[in-house]
Structure 1
């Protein structure tokens, strides 16, 4: 009771936290779009607590948390995806095997790719997914890049082995 008397005697209280912002677009699933910190100042007047001021600050994207690594592929499967891919917007995208995962290099951008399935990979660094579309023998022909769940790039394999069917 002492704490509530103390708060009531000053007439003010504060509540701080973090709120998240979601976007709902037509015919699409709701998605998390951003977050911000907030502080609310409450004032005790006329026997009631009333919101007095609201401060919202530090607006920005929600920090990316990569999915857990639950799939491991044999090196032979990873090697099917290694090679050069060419996209109209980015240019050359190089995929290489690095132990139990792939690395993607596009200009100065480098990403570490881990498998989610036999043909789908995710980046550790940010919300990117990569689908390798294969021909009949399992060799990758096309690399499809998804950013925040939306196709952002399609790159065709550019090395000679991939052109052979």
Structure 2
């Protein structure tokens, strides 16, 4: 559970078949520091009809779309240094701080986490290059994740074949 973000209320007098709209505007500055884990937000609408004492409630859940990380990898060979380049665009109008990058190649390279020693500027396309030495050959999957104080779990993966 995250913090309550905002409340809006209204009162309507409607004739039969008539409709009206109540708008809830939520600016990024009101939620970006309060999102939790997967970035879900639940909007709950409730109403009450005075004339017949009926009530109404509905919920709408949505998740913020996070950028996808792209991964480029040169040919890989067991025991040889291999280079992978990771990139994504910061979709926010604020810099990303306290940044960390993690990667692993399943069964061929142990997981590692590196601190990124700089902020990612607003709307910047961030690129990170990492070398690794595969220990086993075969078809593998390289998995990577970027996290910061403002934006969590930007992930990407790519199949690769490691030669003997």
Please report the TM-score for the alignment, with normalisation by the length of structure 2.
0.28
Greater strand fraction, Structure 1 or Structure 2: 1
Greater helix fraction, Structure 1 or Structure 2: 1
More relative contact order, 1 or 2 (CA 8 Å, 6+ apart)? 2
Select the structure of larger CA radius of gyration: 1
